[in-house]
Structure 1
Amino acid sequence: MKFEQSLSNELVSLLALSLVSLIFLKLISITKRSTAPILPPGPIAYPVVGSLPEMLLNKPAFRWIHNLMQKLNTEIACIRLGSVHIIAVTSPELSREFLKKHDAIFASRPDAVSARLISDGYFSLAFSPAGDQWKKMRRVMVSEVLSMRVFRRLHAMRCEEADHLVRYVYNQCKNPLINGVVNVRDAARYYCANLFRKVVFSGRFFGLGTEDEGLGTEEREHVDGLFTIISCLYGFAIADFIPWLDVFDFDGHKRIVRNAVKNVRKYHDPPINKRMEMWQLGLKSEQDDILDLLINLRSSDQTKPLLSVREIKAQIIEIMIGIVDNPSNAAEWALAEMINQPHILAKACQELNRVVGKDRLVEESDIPNLNYVKACLKESFRIHPLSPFNVHHVWSKDVVMGGYFIPKGSHVLLSRPGLGRNPRVWDEPLRFKPERHIVGESSEVEFVDQELRMLSFSTGRRGCPGILLGSTITTMLLARLIQAFRWKPPLETDIIDLSESRHDLGLAKPLIARATPRLDSQIYKQLYI
């Protein structure tokens, strides 16, 4: 009897102890949860779809995201779209953590309909997830295509296109029907596209061009296709966040990108196929351009080509996208701002007079001494980037950043306007003031901001490997335009409308301005010899 009573007391004590233990563990769990880092601030998400309905009702998505961050008064936000956490950042301190401190787990790319179609299944460099293909294409681009050796070798081609730019604008000045009224957006974009066609295909036009040496129907269709691709790249398609809806293409995103890629490849693929056949048949023996270089790269044992036709075609589209967008947009915005502030334009012209003079055209060798011209372009990159975000990164592990929990698989977007227009960082952030980038007379202006207070060319492991080429093209474009011509609004009483497009960050209307020759007539005549 005593034994049974003792056993009963032990069982009661054991049960009581178990109950107390469970309560204690529950309290610890609740305490841990309450002190654990939380997600960055963001809207309340619906089950399954997250905030997709709200995003679709407030297009374009990038403006909705930025407006949301302003309302929440935050420099980091988390927006769940489908099952994906979108982390948007406008803080330079957090950007440095992402791109520098945690670069290794920040170096991959998310799967996206646009990136997959443009790269033909991730065969190019910029859009490929981290892995062997990315490493291979990075070696190709850094060590071969964008090497200093190739940069120097293609110098003459770049000079030829800079001359052609001046000749084209000069033709507009001589045309009595338009009296020097120039569509600067067209001139800038076509200069960049011509330069690409020259260094890749050794030819300026796909067709015959026009009498004033402008672009023909083929080139216009080609450039339009490229900018359609750029506008859709990582464009928040529904299928990027709910993959099983890809087959329905509810927002038409897939169709638009596929058609644009088809239009571009209609002009790229025939010359690529023809050139490869020429090398195979022994009809060509010297490398004249980037296409020849890509075709002739060999594997480590030298027995077979390093790149397949598919890889070459995908990488050439990517190179083209990288060349046409940033330089043309930066030069167009810079010139528009400078026309509205004539003292800035005059100061840039004075620098060109001092460094170059007026008896020759500015050359690439002058660029290191054109600090004020570069400051104007850097200011344009700061206030007026074309793309609202850097190319999207995907987070490869759970991590705590800035006191917030960033889940594995999150898409991290560093905001270009959010950084460049951050009032905590920049004095009068919306004012075009190039002087802010000139530290001292002996310090050369560089487009890349190492403190990530702005994004011109991306940095880190997935940073742009073509900074030298991009910087050179951008500077030569603006320097040639303002050295060779005086610029005013089309009507003397006008000012340039600096309204921003709703659909991207470019000018709402193309820059239309009146150009008049600024140099001696003999300078221009030499371009026709």
Structure 2
Amino acid sequence: MATLDIILLKELAMATILFFITRFFIRSLVSKPNRKLPPGPTGYPIVGALPLLGTMPHVTLANMSKKYGPVMYLKMGTSNMVVASTPDAARAFLKTLDLNFANRPPNAGATHLAYNSQDMVFAGYGPRWKLLRKLSNLHMLGGKALDDWANVRKIELGHMLQAMVESSSQGEAVVVPEMLTFAMANMLGQVLISKRVFVTKGSESNEFKDMVVELMTSAGYFNFGDYIPSIAWMDLQGIERGMKHLHKKFDKLLSRMIDEHVKTAHQRKGKPDFLDFVMSNREKSEDERLTLINFKALLLNLFTAGTDTSSSIIEWSLAEMLKNPSIMKRAHDEMDQVIGRNRRLEESDLSKLPYLQAICKETFRKHPSTPLNLPRVSSEPCEVNGYYIPKDTRLSVNIWAIGRDPNVWENPLEFTPERFLTGKNAKIDPRGNDFELIPFGAGRRICAGTRMGIVLVEYILGTLVHSFDWKMKDRVELNMDEAFGLALQKAVPLAALVTPRLALSAYQA
């Protein structure tokens, strides 16, 4: 015990020395003309600004930016971090300096959850990342690939509608995130590995949802060990222990999926699925060799991000419409005029439903699925807004703050889809070119599933709104609190009663 105490004291002493070196020596070094760091909070010895972030970092950082400005510097342990909080600041980093910030910093999530950065999300910017991205776009996420599996989405959505009609007949509330996760996981499963992941909704699908939420939550934490590497071994917050345990559960699930997939290869002769295509590219060159670990890591990306981010947007949209019944009514009126009540909404209808699209954009703005973009890191020193940004500085773009900036949006705290129907906002698009609305990020590392995410949100949300009347259970209050994570969850899952509003024949799969 005495030996351990001595080691601990030595580690803390070294961390203290490193803090004062980086805090004062480096600041004085870069405070020469044109080498001034952006303004930011002072923080504390050793840990820097880490304790200031609290349990809702996106809110804390947004409030800090009101004091320190659109480009803000924080000393995070022994690491540098810069935060962009306005469209212009985001554009400077993600467009002008995109290549310099094309890599991810090392962190516990990438190590313990993403197979040591062997996936697409955390992989270094290089040949393997480009190959994984190319294969994903070509066989799943790109325009043609999305069209090819449109029928899968239609059929799986039909199963979901039938289950909802049954719940309605029994007077049961629909738990929205559980329902969406079940349906989306089955949609993705059929494209990825040619099977529905869950045959029936129940404990297995609910456990999967809990695993996805846990992954997104833990990956969003500001882990002390990521910012003070010398004390990472202590795992003071217990975050890494949780990640390792969760990784084992996901690895077991993914290994089983791949083993079953290999055994049934003969059944897919002439009809390869996504995993077949990816595995056929196992060896392209020495620099682009893919392994079993890469396949697992890629499936993990697609299953988790593909279910959680889109489902959270749909859940927030429905919650806002339950809070604002006039918005639900206007959406119903638009759909009844364009589609009627004798059939389901089709994906081809979406372009004729501008108010539905405005609802989706307004949800992307007010409740972005990723409140803080996945961190990037500078490969070389650079300058932004006259401030010096050192090499190896982590970048965080506060997408949540941009969406609620009163200098950008009129009455930003109000949910007003109409803002996207006329005027300067009518042409704003969430695909990464308009920095006022970047729910999927922007630049080279924009979310690979941007196109798929928009299609899923518009199609599924539109179908749910068109097909049912929605209301809260008696004496149940609608809770709009947030729960922070890599994806922005509702603190209390939405559960609501639905009543069919279409002809019964429209609910057949």
What TM-score does the superposition give when structure 2 sets the normalisation length? 0.87
Equivalent position of 2:39 in the other structure: 41
Distance 1:480 1:288, change over 3 A: farther
Given candidates 142, 148, 156, the residue that maps to 1:153 is 148
Residue 203 of structure 2 corresponds to 217
Residue of structure 2 in register with 1:242 after alignment: 228
Aligned ranges for residues 107-506 of structure 1 at < 5 Å? 107-175=102-170, 179-206=171-198, 208-209=199-200, 215-279=201-265, 284-297=268-281, 299-300=283-284, 307-439=290-422, 446-448=429-431, 450-491=433-474, 496-501=478-483, 505-506=488-489
CA distance in 1, matches of 2:207, 2:296: 18
| In structure 1, C-alpha distance between the alignment counterparts of 2:159 and 2:451, rounded to whole Å | 21
CA contact (8 A) 1:115 1:234 kept: no
Task: Kindly provide the CA deviation profile for residues 163-198 of structure 1, in whole angstroms up to 9, marking residues without a partner as x.
Answer: 1121121111011xxx14222222223222222223
Could you give the per-residue CA deviations for residues 115-136 of structure 1, whole angstroms, max 9, x where no partner exists? 2222212211111122232222
Distance 1:146 1:306, change over 3 A: farther
8 Å contact from structure 1 (residues 110, 129) kept in 2: no
Instruction: From the superposition, tell whether residues 291 and 95 of structure 1 become closer, same or farther in structure 2 (CA, over 3 Å).
Output: same
Please list the CA deviations of residues 51-105 of structure 1 after superposition, one character each: whole Å capped at 9, or x if unmatched: 33545xx3344444334334x2522211111221111111111111111111111
Per the alignment, do residues 249 and 452 of structure 1 end up closer, same or farther by CA in structure 2, a change over 3 Å counting?
same
Residues in 2 aligned to 1:420 and 1:449: alpha-carbon distance in whole angstroms: 14
For residue 16 of structure 2, what is the aligned residue in structure 1?
Answer: none
- Report if the CA contact (8 A) 2:173-2:495 is conserved: yes
Counterparts in 2 of 1:278 and 1:343: CA distance versus 1, 3 Å: closer
Contact kept, 8 Å, 1:486 with 1:518, in 2: the verdict is yes
Q: 1:401 to 1:446 in 2, by over 3 A?
A: closer
Measured in 1, the distance between the counterparts of 2:338 and 2:322 equals 22
Query: Which letter does structure 1 place at the counterpart of 2:281?
Result: L
Equivalent residue runs for 1:46-65 within 5 Å: 46-55=44-53, 58-65=54-61
Aligned to 2:233, the other structure's residue is in SS state coil
1: CA distance between counterparts of 2:130 and 2:120? 8
Partners of 1:78 and 1:487 lie apart in 2 by: 45
2-side partners of 1:440 and 1:60: how far apart? 33
Instruction: Give the aligned residue type for 2:36.
Output: I
Percent identity, aligned pairs only?
Answer: 28
Alignment CA distance shift 1:242-1:287 (3 Å): farther
* Alpha-carbon distance between aligned partners in 2 of 1:287 and 1:392, rounded to the nearest angstrom: 38
Unaligned runs of 5+ in 2: 1-27
2:50 is matched by which residue type in structure 1? L
Instruction: Provide the C-alpha distance between the structure 1 equivalents of 2:29 and 2:459, rounded to a whole number of angstroms.
Output: 61
| 1:495 CA drift (Å) | 5.6
Question: Hey, what's the Cα distance between the residues in 2 that align with 1:501 and 1:284?
Answer: 42
Contact 2:310 2:369 survives alignment (8 Å)? no
What is the DSSP-based 3-state SS (H/G/I as helix, E as strand, rest coil) of the residue aligned with 1:405? strand
Change (3 A) 1:170 1:84: same
Is 2:467–2:500's contact at 8 Å kept on the other side of the alignment?
Answer: yes
Q: 1:32 to 1:477 in 2, by over 3 A?
A: closer
Structure 1 residues 426 and 60: alpha-carbon distance in aligned structure 2, compared to 1, 3 A threshold? closer
**Larger CA Rg, structure 1 vs 2:** 1
1:69 matches 2:65:
yes
Matching of residue 92 in structure 1 with residue 90 in structure 2: no
1:479 and 1:445 map into 2 onto residues whose CA distance is 20
Unaligned runs of 5+ in 1: 1-29, 210-214
Q: Which amino acid aligns with 2:279?
A: I
Displacement, 1:144?
Answer: 3.5
> Aligned partner of 2:113: which letter?
I
What letter corresponds to residue 405 of structure 2 in structure 1? Answer: N
Once the two structures are superposed, what CA deviation does each residue of 1:188-212 show, in whole Å capped at 9, x if it has no partner? 2322222222322333244x52xxx
Query: SS of the counterpart of 2:480?
Result: coil
Structure 1's 283 and 337: CA in aligned 2 closer, same or farther, altered over 3 A? closer
Judged with a 3 Å threshold, the aligned counterparts in structure 2 of structure 1 residues 451 and 47 are, in CA distance, closer, same or farther, namely same
| Paired positions, count | 480
CA RMSD, Structure 1 to Structure 2 (Å) = 2.7
Secondary structure of the residue that 2:293 maps to in structure 1?
helix
Q: Which amino acid aligns with 2:354?
A: N
